[in-house]
Structure 1
């Protein structure tokens, strides 16, 4: 095999794999639905990318079935012309998770799974390891602000930090050496059907940890009896004592400090968290635990936590001045929304906060619209954007208006994404904090909104 062709190359996980193969000497090309800053970056790195589903646009060298591996994301529809052509022409065609699974069998995989928190936790773990003498490779589900990439390469380490995605049961393809599970709140019920089936998928995931490995799970989860003999199990928390836990959490002069405790009784005091949000303390406890178990020194832990810059679209402050704040956050599950809004309230406790939320998927909105309404009710004001469908067809009767109808006292406008900036420009009484929420394409409006807000300074 000399070449790898990616169908859905612009996805955050797919692009990390594309970079891995490119770095390792393979020719890489691919298709994606729309251009983006990420596909622009991949093109600059030497990958041939097009945006129309047309087999005629596939570069000729990639049409040799003996020399080309085809990798696709499960978000691609089954009737995709290029995918069907490859499947019917004798090519080896695998899902992204299969390709990633092969990498976990070649290296010591540190896999981070969970309904929410996994992107920040895996990126923080990768940063700690990368900043230490241990180092690592990393396949992340977001763009690290410290490194400007979702893929980190090491020539000296056999550790690979991997964000383990539960969608489509993808993480069942992995072979973890160590694993973190942050949460098992129900999600992706379009795939799993019931909350019980969703939790069972995590039981299957932890059963894949190799003997001699480690499971670090949030205290309260019931997965300990699912691991193989020889796997060590630890709990973690930021609200109560556990094997690894944080306490003495406090905010002072824009910094967040906490004490970190280990099972051996030794603690690290007054850790300064680079992204000063209470929701990140719990993520930090888990990342510190795995880094410590892999030999990172205490002084390296302290320095790395302080220098962590966060992840793009994870509580990323785009505008931050005395007049107005604009935060962009990927939260798209009710639990994530609650945690993000709580963090905003803590940081800006005397400020008026406007949330701008774009629901992600018709099925998720149908399943959780009541929970969305409850979480969003803790904002001062709210704008709802039409649902981002991603891979789905519309579901009759399902819309963002379902959420608005449960919050009549807030008088919530429901807008197409294209009207957002013009709507804000017409507002006569602007809030102190704009909080953009969602995992869809709402981020395309971040820069135009930021440009407008910056004119008000």
Structure 2
């Protein structure tokens, strides 16, 4: 497909984090961009402010009149139901319709492509890599799954020769990509509604890894059974973070490779998992040819990603952190980071489970990871693309937890329950609409202080 001949791009689900990055990209190219989403959000507000037309009703008459079959590409997200009127309108009239991953594959095919895969760590690793490349003067465009604080955007750069993309395993999307350098951060079971079992998801990652013929250009953590350059924290690897200490709320560490040591690297995102992500990005950039000094400067100036261990309040007597974690492994990582930074302090975790199927598939692991916090408030399950499942609820998840200082609350009660707590560290966790509640929680806690 020749994107040069496409003048109009219509997005169904334009407010999604991956979709919005593509929308921004086409808008910067001067294309006529419009789209639909179910509800207004901060992200759709930003797109509208930039000049993109968005509506929130599934009505055919809201499709712009100039969007004809010959010059329009329709981009869809897997979250859109098959009954969607606009989608069916485009299908019936035989418009060019592609999934987001297919479009990314087309855009990146003629570029030098960095692809970041893994069930956890994709957004952070790709955002750090994008920042290193952009700050080092590389002609790069990066399509990211989170809003990078340094740029207040999920589209970083406007280059033509190099791209950075998240290689998403959902729906086997990452098999559409053509990577030159890639990494795999993790291969935990997830998306079992798509894959069925852990073996199938691992087979899909192995197929993705096979796209990199030169294994010196594939980076993996030491735990993964894949051929490639290894990355590890305090364990033998081709790229090893060692001599790790904390100074002024940031990690300072050395990077040991097979033939050198890079001293005193500074990185401020907390948690061992984020050290791994930073090390992965450093290794990929170094392999491409970015100097150690440029990478060190970029790592030191990286401010983080919205909703990834994102500080909302950071005062002497109260801390509020917001995080997108929605898998037990990610919740464990949040707990590890909070425990390391605030030892001995009482922590209240507020968690909104995401998807009935994920809650069902990992219930015991969720119960274990959540029970590690001092106090837990559970919101109802956020359904996203799913219908309710009989017997699967937050009350059922609560019954599996061993922490008696836990309860299920509805959204209307949440802020009053938070204000009753004598905790000094508050953490909101989840990938649903809990993110939309963060400003009001922050306001209430600030007033409490």
TM bracket, shorter-chain basis: over 0.9
Alignment of 1:367-386 (within 5 A): 367-386=361-380
Residue of structure 2 in register with 1:326 after alignment: 320
Match of 1:18 among 16, 19, 23: 23
- Give the ranges of 4+ consecutive aligned residues of structure 1 lying more than 6 Å apart after TM superposition: none
CA RMSD of aligned residues (A): 1.4
Residue of structure 1 in register with 2:274 after alignment: 280
Contact 2:115 2:166 in 1 (8 A): yes
Residue of structure 2 in register with 1:140 after alignment: 144
CA pair 409-45 structure 1, distance change in 2 beyond 3 A? closer
Q: Is the partner of 2:66 in helix, strand or coil?
A: helix
What does the per-residue CA deviation read over 1:38-94, in whole Å, with 9 as the maximum and x for residues that have no partner?
1111111111100011111111111x1111110000111111111111011110111
Residue of structure 2 in register with 1:241 after alignment: 236
Contact 2:374 2:405 in 1 (8 A): no
Match of 1:116 among 120, 124, 128: 120
Contact 1:55 1:81 in 2 (8 A): yes
Q: Is the partner of 1:163 in helix, strand or coil?
A: strand
Q: Is the partner of 1:288 in helix, strand or coil?
A: helix
C-alpha displacement of 1:401: 1.4
What does the per-residue CA deviation read over 1:174-220, in whole Å, with 9 as the maximum and x for residues that have no partner?
11111110000000000000100011110111122366871111112
- Tell me if 1:86 matches 2:90: yes
Residue of structure 1 in register with 2:255 after alignment: 260
CA pair 341-284 structure 1, distance change in 2 beyond 3 A? same
TM-score normalised per structure 1 = 0.95
TM-score normalised per structure 2 = 0.96
Residue of structure 1 in register with 2:38 after alignment: 33
C-alpha displacement of 1:418: 3.4
Contact 1:382 1:410 in 2 (8 A): no
- Tell me if 1:270 matches 2:274: no
What does the per-residue CA deviation read over 1:155-178, in whole Å, with 9 as the maximum and x for residues that have no partner?
4x6111111111111111111111
Contact 1:134 1:295 in 2 (8 A): no
Match of 2:61 among 56, 64, 67: 56
User: What is the aligned length?
Assistant: 444
Residue of structure 2 in register with 1:205 after alignment: 208
Contact 1:176 1:210 in 2 (8 A): no
Listed as ranges, the gaps of 5+ residues in structure 2 are 1-5
CA pair 258-213 structure 1, distance change in 2 beyond 3 A? closer
Listed as ranges, the gaps of 5+ residues in structure 1 are 225-232
Contact 2:69 2:95 in 1 (8 A): yes
Alpha-carbon separation, structure 1, partners of 2:142 and 2:248: 33
- Tell me if 1:442 matches 2:434: yes
Contact 1:421 1:445 in 2 (8 A): no
Residue of structure 1 in register with 2:109 after alignment: 105
Alpha-carbon separation, structure 1, partners of 2:165 and 2:94: 30
Q: Is the partner of 1:455 in helix, strand or coil?
A: helix
- Most deviating of 210-219 and 390-399: 210-219
CA pair 92-123 structure 1, distance change in 2 beyond 3 A? same
Contact 2:217 2:287 in 1 (8 A): no
Residue of structure 2 in register with 1:363 after alignment: 357
What does the per-residue CA deviation read over 1:375-399, in whole Å, with 9 as the maximum and x for residues that have no partner?
1111000000100100000011101
